[in-house]
Amino acid sequence: MSKALFMQQNLQPGEIYAGIVLGQNGAGDHHLFLLPAKTEPLTWDKAVAWAESVGGTLPTRQEQAILYGNLKHEFEPRWHWSSEQHAGNSDYAWLQYFDDGTQYGGPKSNEYRARAVRRLLIIE
């Protein structure tokens, strides 16, 4: 299938195609789409709920790295929440800094920006 046909069939209004994410830990590969909605700073719990309310989810750390690499210009150069909680401390979640690409764990009670993504599983 051509890229143009793929986009015509799968891209929703306002979305931007971000790329292919290779599955990890048994998860399948998927296409990643950045949704158009943006937020002002929110706590992590509110960011998770907001992403669901706009029809998406917060991106994983792996997805944020792809978003930084492919669509950095679509983000404010600020910290943005990921969907991943910090393994060593359940009061923390991972963040991506869209100025220099740094990823860091921050307290969920702090307020940072968020963007939502949508995934489309690649079926072989």
- Structurally, the chain folds into a number of domains equal to 1
> What does the alpha-carbon distance between residue 44 and residue 53 come to, in Å, rounded to a whole number?
14
Helix H or strand E encompassing 46: helix 44-53
Q: pTM for this structure?
A: 0.89
Q: What is the pLDDT of residues 7-66, one digit of tens each?
A: 667 888 899 999 999 887 667 789 999 999 999 999 999 999 999 999 999 999 999 999
Instruction: Kindly report the CATH number assigned to the domain that includes residue 89.
Output: 3.10.100.10
**pLDDT greater than 80 at residue 1:** no
pLDDT of residue 68: 98
Q: Which domain holds residue 82?
A: 3-121
| The token pair that represents 63 in the structure block | 């997805």
